[in-house]
Each structure stands twice: as C-alpha cells, then as structure tokens.
Chain A
Amino acid sequence: MFKHLFSYSLKRQIRQKDTMFWTMIFPIILATLFNITTGNAVTKGAVTQIPIALVIEEENENFMMAIESISMMKGPKSSGDEKEDEIIFLTTLTDDETAKEMLYNGEIGGYYIVSASPVLVINESGNKQAVMKSFLDRYEQKETALIDILDQWSGEADYSDILKEKSGEYFIDLPVTRNSISSIVMYYYVLVSMACMYSVMPGINLTANILPNQTPVAARNGLGGISKFKLFYTGLLSTFVVQNINILVLLAYVKIVLSVDLGNEIAYTFLICMLGNVIGICLGVIIGGIVKGKKSTKSLLGIGIVMLGSMLGGMINLDIKYLIQNEYPVIAKINPINALIDCFYSLYYNGSSSKLSLALFRLFIWCVGMFVIIGIMLRRNQYEYI
C-alpha cells in the first residue's frame, strides 16, 4: 500500500508544472540573474587577491585593524588552515596622489581614504570593487559591535578567538572572519533558503488532496479504505524527496555551473536545506488547512509569505536582515527563512560549531511546532461544511 501511495504521489509531484516552476526553475533563474548582476564576484578562484591602497587622512584604529585582519590572512598559510583560497586585500599604504595614479594605472582595484568615516575610491565597477564596497558596508554596519570587541583585544590574544567568543553577543557575521566576499555568497544562501521555503506550494497541494473539505478529489481520498494520516505521511515523504532533489539540483547548479563557493560543509548545507524543506512543506500544509478559499488564493498567499520572509531575511538587501534582527527581533524570530539563513550564516562563518548546533536546534523546534499544528489539524475527522 505504501508503495502504491508513494509512487503515485511522486508522479503527481513531478508532473505539477506550477509547483516545479516555483521550487526548481524559479530559484535557478534567480541564481543565474543574480550571478549575472554580481558579475561572478564569488566565482571560486576567480578573485583571490585584491590589491588595494590605503590613504590615511585621519587615524581610525578600528578600520585599520579590520583591514589588517583581512591582510593578515595573506602570505604563507599555517599547516592547519584549510581555507587557503580566501579573498584578501594586498594593501599598500600610500598618499592620495600615488593612490590615484595606481588606480588609473590599474595597479589597484580601489583605495580607501581612512578617516573617522572611511571612504572608498574606485574608477570602475567590477568584482574587486564589489568586494571592496561590500567590505566597507559591512564594516560600517558592524562598527559599534567591532569597537567593543576590539577594545578587548590586547594584541596578544588570537583575534579570531575573541570574535568566536563574542559572536553570540553581537550576532557576529563580520566580514573579517573568514571570507571578505561573504555578503555576496550570503545572497545565494538567502536564495537557497527561499527555494527551500517554496516547498510551501507542494504543501498546499498535499492538503488539497487529503482534507475532504478541500476538493472533490480529497473527499474521494477520504472515502477510501485508508486513514488520512497514512495519506499524509506518504504524501509528505514524496514531497520531501522531490523537494530535496530540487534543492540538490539548485545547489549543484550554483556550485558547478555558476562556480559559487558555498563552502566545504556540503553535508551540513544539505541538512539545513532538508530541515528548510520540512518547514516549507509544513507551512504549506498549515496554510492549506487553515486558510479558507480557493487553492490559487492559498498558493498566492504561500508565495507572498515566502517572498516577504525572504525579503526580510535579506534577499534584496542584507541590511534589512540586520535591521529587522536588531529593531524588530520578534519578526526575525517568527520568520522561518531567517532561522534558515542564520543556520547558513553559522555554518559559513563558524563551520560545524556550537552556534550552528543552536541554529539547527531552532530549525528543529520550528519543525516540531509545525508538526504539532498539523497533527491537531489532521485529527479532525468530520467537517461542518464541504
């Protein structure tokens, strides 16, 4: 019986063109467009060192330290350092005139005028300039937090240890930790999170097929000699399988075709995606079960929620994510896409650390919560209206 239900559910999933569009094709299109607009800024190996110049107009110890932390990573790597292909700044300290000349000669990608508010000078837009701009933006965003951290750095302790220690306190997603192109890669992670959450669509379809008050086909299913729970879990499993394949295709496309470096923790990345898929499907089931109206209305609502969640999670601008996180923490907490992105952040910056475990635990709690709601929803056997 399981084989029968599962195989037909799988067939239906694969043949649902609208769902396949949103869950597989649309994220691939977005990733491609994003790759075109960012000019392959995160293509692995394409940019490894960016020559820059610093013109000191005014003392800014914090900014200099941040630059230095990036520059510290250049040169011979320690034997234990496996992340050797990080992007680094090859910094030249010079005056304004020389910097300008170097810039016009193409010797540097741009230069920073160091002051209380550092300024970036560039004469063209490209990968290197995007990275430099991103670095400056992130520095400005996190300056306050950075000051606090750097205050505690005596110069003897390992800088990365201090960052790790303070990470929980300040949401340290600082660009100076592992990868200076982080903000661009992060957009890809937001995209992957969004793709996971598009599982909301097959989730809505699942409800439409098993709750007898939804569609004639669900009523017919309900009259069969099989319990609603059996129908649900086989449907859930097949949806989960299809969505995971979709995500694998997306990850492969981003990593292989677009050559974006998504880090080395592929197993963890996929684990996060799987949890994201479960949350997406469950959200769809809940929307399908609770919201009254046509399936198309529910689908629109589902897509709207995912798009809004993605936007608040930093899809359009990562600053929005920080703003929401700092100013409206409740919204950030109830946004499942935010929880997913936080997982990717933790993985990307800290690897398989305790912070990642905490973020994964949060995702797990999301899943459990949603299953509880669905369980209550499915327990209902008869309906007032059909």
Chain B
Amino acid sequence: MTKKGEMEMVIKIKNLVKRYGDLIALDHLNLEINEGEIFGLLGPDGSGKSTAIHCMLSLLKYDKGSVELFGRNMTPAAYDIKRDIGVVMQGVAVFNELTVIENIDYFCGLYIPDEGRRNQLVREAVDFCNLAEFTRYYPKKLSGGLLRRLNIACGIAHKPKLIIMDEPTVSVDPQTRNCILEGVLKLNKEGATVLYTSHYMEEVELICTRLAILEKGKIVASGTSDELKALIGAGEKIQIEVFNMDSKVIEILKENVNISYVSYTGKSLVIKSNKGKHNLAYAIEILEEYKVPFRNITSTQPTLNDVFLEITGKGLRDDV
C-alpha cells in the first residue's frame, strides 16, 4: 500500500521481452510510470511502442518479464484492473453500424453497468470531445478528425485512472491535434495518469512530464525533456548575419565560458552554447560594443530529434 501523499506506481514493467520469430520487438524493456504523470513513449515507426502497449494490456503474449498495473499483476482475465484503464488505439476502433452516441454508450457500458451513471458519463465524453453536434451521425459520415475524437471519447468515457493513447494524432489536421493535446492535459488535470505514444516529438515535448525514447525495443534514454537534452550536451544555437567583423570580436566571444563554439564564414556568425540563459544577449552586447553591423538573428534550442539523432545516429522521423 502507498502511504498518503506518496505517489502510487501505476505501471511497472520489468525486463519485458517479446519476439516475433527472430525479430526482437521488445528487448528487456523496463518502465515505471507514476500516478498523475503524462508519460511519453517516443520512438520511430517499428520501434516497439504499440507492441509494448499490447503486451502491457495482456493482448499479446510475451516471452519474458512482468507487467504490473496499479501494483497488481496484469493478466488477460484481470477485469478489475481493466476497468480502470482506458485505451485509445492507433486505429479507429468503433462500430460503423452504431451512431456516435451509441458507440460511446456501448464502450462505456463495458465498464459501467449502471445506466444512469453511464448516461451522465456519455454526455460528459461527448462534450469533452466536442461531438455534441454529431451524436446521431454514423462513423462513416464523420471526417478523419471527428473519427479520432470519437475514438478518444470511446476510450475515456468511463473515466479511467490510466489512459493509454497509442499515437492518437496520426493523420489528423493541426486543429484536431491541438484539440486532442488539450484534451490529454485536461484528462491529466482531472486525475488520470496518461501513457502517450507518438513519433511526433513536438507534441510529446509539449504535454509530457516525463518521456522515454524507444529504439529497437529498448529504452535508450528517459527523463524529462530538459534532462534528455542535457544528456547529449547540446545547447542553444545562435545564428547572426554580420558585416565586416574583426577576428578580435570572435576571440572575445569565445572568452565567455558558456560559449562552446564560434564560427564566422561569409556573413554568417554561428555561436553554440552548452549552458547559460543569456548567451544571445551577451553576443548582441559584444557586437554593439565593437560596432559590428548585424541583422537577422535566430536562436534555436535543441529538439528531441537532436537527442534522438545523437543517441541513435538517425532521425526520429524520416521527414525530419
């Protein structure tokens, strides 16, 4: 039992191994997620995110390891555990023969037998996913974004303690994506622990309190976004278009302990720093002091893709 004030561990996976023939889909996966977290599982396609979820939910057989949810061993017949879990699958999992409201009611009914309570929860889910105008529609009449919202409504209507979202924003427009991300934050505020998988690093970075990077079935790094960036030692990158700069100025810039790298080629001055918060201000101050004309300043922070690139030697997404 957890003491009052102490966070309960919602998911605990130890040494999980899953093989598909010769292919190792999960390679001694270890994962611990605490109550109240939004935990991001980040990885490219085929890295094992969905397999990890399916094993976690006892849908897939695994070769080795253990899965504990809410401190109890997860098995296919652990219905009491399943009642506290809501799953939003990667594929839209709704019945085409049922309307929006019927779909939500049906799936909610798998967890909530009481009709009165269920009706209330269904109404809340409809409002939560902004589906009030479409309750009498059949899924085939809905757009891709609305279908995704329906998919989410079906997964969360019963107010689960743990919500597992497997790439819920795949193939949706930016508005729907924002709507989904806001929804995840709202659910978390209402008390749900969220496991969120995605290969979109921006959204994971935006909503997750902690994350892990999965590559070839292994967790190659985990922590907060800042911790991961710090892990690779990459910091801010400043680019300034300058005119007629003296090499003396470059030397002065290099004297700052936070600045690790300075280069000046053509009209482009590039400054890289590992730490410190005011490096851009410092660079501008020096340029003004030595009357170096400049314009077009850009400052970029390292992304999770940089982290992924650094750790695995390849990009998180092909298009990045």
Which residues of A are in contact with B by a Cβ distance under 8 Å? 1, 4-5, 8, 11-12, 15-16, 209, 212-213, 215-217, 219-227, 381-386
Instruction: Please give the distance in Å from A221's CB to the nearest CB on chain B.
Output: 7
Instruction: Identify B102's interface contact among A11, A16, A215, A225, CB under 8 A.
Output: A11
- Whether A384 and B61, one on each chain, are in contact in the complex, defined by CB atoms closer than 8 angstroms, is yes
- Whether B87 and A385, one on each chain, are in contact in the complex, defined by CB atoms closer than 8 angstroms, is no
In Å, the complex CA distance between A215 and B80 comes to: 23
Interface stretch of the complex, out of B88-96, B190-198, B220-228:
B88-96
- Whether B83 and A217, one on each chain, are in contact in the complex, defined by CB atoms closer than 8 angstroms, is no
- For A216, the chain B residues whose CB sits under 8 A away are 89-93
The 4 A-B residue pairs with the shortest CB-CB distance in the complex, in nearest-first order: A224-B110, A216-B93, A381-B76, A15-B97
- For B58, the chain A residues whose CB sits under 8 A away are 381-382
Instruction: Identify B59's interface contact among A5, A222, A224, CB under 8 A.
Output: A222
Total residues of chain B contacting the partner, CB 8 A: 34
- Whether A220 and B93, one on each chain, are in contact in the complex, defined by CB atoms closer than 8 angstroms, is yes
Instruction: Please give the distance in Å from A12's CB to the nearest CB on chain B.
Output: 4
Given A1-B113, A383-B60, A224-B82 contact (CB < 8 Å): yes
In Å, the complex CA distance between A314 and B227 comes to: 75
In Å, the complex CA distance between A1 and B118 comes to: 12
- For B98, the chain A residues whose CB sits under 8 A away are 8, 11-12, 15
Instruction: Identify A11's interface contact among B92, B97, B154, CB under 8 A.
Output: B97
Besides A216-B92, A386-B60, 10 other A-B contacts (C-beta < 8 A): A4-B113, A8-B98, A209-B95, A221-B110, A225-B111, A381-B58, A382-B58, A382-B59, A383-B59, A386-B54
Which residues of B are in contact with A by a Cβ distance under 8 Å? 20, 54, 57-61, 76-77, 79-80, 82-83, 85, 87, 89-95, 97-98, 102, 106-107, 109-111, 113, 115, 154-155
- For B91, the chain A residues whose CB sits under 8 A away are 216
In Å, the complex CA distance between A225 and B106 comes to: 12
Instruction: Please give the distance in Å from A102's CB to the nearest CB on chain B.
Output: 62
- Whether B97 and A223, one on each chain, are in contact in the complex, defined by CB atoms closer than 8 angstroms, is no
Instruction: Please give the distance in Å from B45's CB to the nearest CB on chain A.
Output: 16
- Whether B106 and A8, one on each chain, are in contact in the complex, defined by CB atoms closer than 8 angstroms, is yes
In Å, the complex CA distance between A86 and B143 comes to: 62
Given A216-B92, A217-B94, A217-B95, A223-B59 contact (CB < 8 Å): yes
Most buried by B among A15, A219, A224: A224
In Å, the complex CA distance between A221 and B87 comes to: 10
- Whether B109 and A4, one on each chain, are in contact in the complex, defined by CB atoms closer than 8 angstroms, is yes
- For A213, the chain B residues whose CB sits under 8 A away are 59
In Å, the complex CA distance between A225 and B108 comes to: 10
In Å, the complex CA distance between A212 and B90 comes to: 14
Given A8-B98, A216-B89, A223-B79 contact (CB < 8 Å): no
